Amino acid sequence: MTGVRPVRRGSIRRGPQAAGTAAAAPPVRVAVVGAGAAGTLTALHLVRGARARGTLLEVVVVDPAAELGRGTAFGTTDDRHLLNVPAVGMSALPDRSQHFVEWRRQRGASVGNDLHVFAPRREYSRYLEDTLWEELRAAADTVRLEHRRAWVTGIEPVAPGSVATGSRPWRLVCHGARPVEADAFVVATGLPEAGTAWAPESLLRSSSFVVDPWAPGALEAVARDRRGLADVLVVGSGLTMVDVALTVLGRTARHDRRLTAVSRSGLLPGAHADRPLPAAVPDVTDWPHDLEGIVARATRHLHEVRDGAGDWRPAVDGLRFRVAELWSRLEEPERAEFLTRYAGPWGRLRHRMPPSSAARVDAFRAAGRLEVRADRVVDARCLGAGGVRVTLASGEVREVGWVVNCTGPALDVRASGNHLLADLLRPRPDGPLASAATAGMGLRTHGGRLLAADGGASAAPVWVLGALRRGELLESTAVPEIRVQAQQVAESLLGTFGPVPGRTAASAAAGREVGVAVATG
């Protein structure tokens, strides 16, 4: 599974841009852990930033995944799985909002309402890859990118006991592959894996239990099964359940199949409008600084927009722009209370189904093929001939061919089983390199740069983005947030480590050491 896979490398040569700016400086070397959307967007913005500055740059993306730009969300091969953000919201470049729309048009997408189209997620992964390679081609004189296929298990000083002796004092430790030394590191490891704390032990052992529906081939196995028990039980009723229903009840599915989705709320996510509705962004300057006060004002905003515009969705889309600001006003106990009481309802309003998916879900329900209700699994027994007998809290007993876990990712990175994150958080003689953010939803940072437990800059030059900033920002897992963070990380990192005109190799190396020690507070 591990190994080195060079991908269409550019080469570092002293091109015209580089010659005048950084003639004697060695390349800045950045290791990005994770090749999902966040890691790929970071690589893209590093390449763009380096080209604009004339900085010599080496990017090493480390991830066992075979391709860049897939990850959990965009690795699906089922074109019924659509983006849940309209095309105009999915540009990789924050300063060119129609970039994804234009890319689609160049490939034959019809012009018209295509700003508001919900494209297949697989298409988006191709867009990310294309955009990265286009930037790499344009920066071939100054930038080189390598994809190394390996799991990262930790980060360590190159010379044990010293963090500032060499010009590149830190390196990634990789499972079964050589370490990756770099000037700076970006951790883009995404959401923790799906939680299974709810599942009885017997279910965890069953081959009819799909622990992670996004694991390669997992849903295809359910869809292809035409011999076993027909029915499917899905635990969870959010967007992942919707995708599962589209696959296992879709056109080619067996006709006797029914799907039951059980969850705490028994509610489906909301649906997007079938036409563009501009976001109604509230001015929150005079909103209170306590949870109940904020919830009251947000509810009022929702009602006012609904009554004025005839739709609640612009209010939610507008609130999204204020979430980080409002979240920053709350103390830890109130954040915990939000997660317990309000995160579910907020998620259903905020993370919505594309209209076409919602129509299919309605049709499945009308045909009696999909049932969604509040319930939970209390017991499960494997059946001899395959399948599972499941007992629900309501007392109902079902025999199903498959149980699919759609409860979503676990919250707390401290229990995620990700070796790199565990290594960042473990005690070291000078203290851990990182500390957990609210509820363990990622790590504490200052503008993306990792903070140690004492609130000062981490000893290691590490930046994080995406899901690892949820504890700080709450909304930090979708492309509209991630692309901005990726650009900021690239700017911050190139600003810290990139040579400035007139700087020599020696001063660049000195800059690295200053960069490691630089205060972020």
How distant, in Å, are the alpha carbons of 37, 61, 132, 273, 345 from that of 180? Answer: 21, 10, 22, 46, 43
Which CB atom, from 67 or from 225, has the smaller least distance to ligand FAD?
Answer: 67
Residue 72 Cβ vs ligand FAD, minimum distance, rounded to whole Å: 4
The tokens 């010379």 sit on which residue?
159
State yes or no: residue 17 binds ligand FAD (CB under 6 A): no
Alpha carbons 318 and 191: distance in angstroms, whole number? 24
Which of 49, 71, 192, 498: binder of ligand FAD (CB under 6 A)?
71
E-only strand ranges, 251-334: 259-263
250 contact partners, CB below 8 Å, separation of at least 6: 80, 223
Of 50 and 173, the one with the shorter C-beta distance to ligand FAD is 173
Q: Does 62 bind ligand FAD (CB under 6 A)?
A: yes
In the set 85, 145, 222, 437, which binds ligand FAD (CB under 6 A)? Answer: 85
Which range binds ligand FAD by CB under 6 A, 64-72, 96-104, 197-205, 314-322? 64-72
- Quote the least distance from Cβ 248 to ligand FAD, whole Å: 15
330/493 with CB nearer ligand FAD: 493
Q: Are 298 and 281 in contact (CB under 8 A)?
A: no
Q: Does 127 bind ligand FAD (CB under 6 A)?
A: no
Q: Among 189, 247, 357, 435, indicate the residue that binds ligand FAD (CB under 6 A).
A: 189
Q: Which of the ranges 21-29, 83-91, 108-116, 224-232 carries the binding residues for ligand FAD, by CB under 6 A?
A: 83-91
Give 388 or 406: the residue with its C-beta nearer to ligand FAD. Answer: 406
Sign of the CA dihedral running 160, 162, 166, 170: positive
| CB closer to ligand FAD, 152 vs 229 | 152
**Residue 33's beta-bridge partner residues?**
62, 187
Q: Which is nearer to ligand FAD, 152 or 443 (CB)?
A: 152
Q: Quick check: 387 and 400 in contact, CB under 8 A?
A: yes
Across 12-56, the runs of DSSP E, i.e. the strands, are 28-33
- Give the residue, chosen from 43, 73, 101, 245, that forms a contact with ligand FAD under the rule CB under 6 A: 73
Q: What is the smallest separation between the CB atom of 123 and ligand FAD, expressed in angstroms?
A: 11
Helix (H, G, I), strand (E, B), or coil: what is residue 391? strand
Cβ atoms of residues 107 and 130 within 8 Å: no
The angle at the Cα of 118, spanning 112 to 121, to the nearest 5 degrees, equals 130
Shortest Cβ 369–ligand FAD spacing (Å) = 22
Q: Count residues binding ligand FAD (CB under 6 A).
A: 34
Closest separation between CB of residue 230 and ligand FAD, Å? 25
As a whole number of angstroms, the distance between CA 423 and CA 418 comes to 9
Q: How far is CA 206 from CA 209, 240, 381, 405, in A?
A: 6, 21, 9, 13
- List 72, 131, 142, 407, residue binding ligand FAD (CB under 6 A): 72
The pairing of strands 449-450 and 209-210 is unpaired
Does residue 38 interact with ligand FAD by CB under 6 A? yes
Secondary structure letter of residue 267 according to DSSP: -
Query: Rounded distance, CA 269 to CA 15, Å?
Result: 52
- E strand segments, 165-292: 170-174, 177-182, 184-187, 209-210, 232-235, 259-263
* Residue selected from 478, 486, 489, 516 as contacting ligand FAD according to rule CB under 6 A: 478
**Residue 268 C-beta: closest distance to ligand FAD, Å:** 16
- Asked if residue 65 binds ligand FAD (CB under 6 A), the reply is yes
Torsion of the alpha carbons at 429, 447, 442 and 351, rounded to the nearest 10: 180
**From CA 129, how far away is CA 36, in angstroms rounded?**
10
Could you say whether residue 185 binds ligand FAD (CB under 6 A)?
A: no
- Could you say which residues in the range 237-276 bind ligand FAD, by CB under 6 A? 240
Decide if residue 86 touches ligand FAD (CB under 6 A). no
The footprint of ligand FAD on residues 392-431 (CB under 6 A) is 418-420
Say whether residue 476 binds ligand FAD (CB under 6 A). Answer: no
Determine contact, residues 194/407, Cβ cutoff 8 Å.
Answer: yes
176 CB neighbour count, 10 Å cutoff:
12
Query: Among the candidate windows 159-167, 225-233, 340-348, 472-480, which touches ligand FAD by CB under 6 A?
Result: 472-480
Shortest spacing between CB 190 and ligand FAD, in angstroms: 2
Residue 57 as a binder of ligand FAD (CB under 6 A): the answer is: no
| Residue 445 found at the interface with ligand FAD (CB under 6 A) | no
Strands 445-446 and 449-450: antiparallel
Kindly identify the residues of this chain, within the stretch 149-178, that bind ligand FAD according to CB under 6 A: 151-152
Residue 337 CB, nearest distance to ligand FAD (Å)? 25
- Neighbour tally for 411: CB within 10 Å: 20
Q: How far is the CB of 207 from ligand FAD (least distance, A)?
A: 23
Residue 467 binds ligand FAD, judged by CB under 6 A: yes
HSE at residue 431, side-chain half, CA atoms within 13 A, is: 13
Rule CB under 6 A: which residues touch ligand FAD? 33-39, 62-65, 71-74, 83-85, 121, 151-152, 188-191, 240, 418-420, 466-467, 477-479
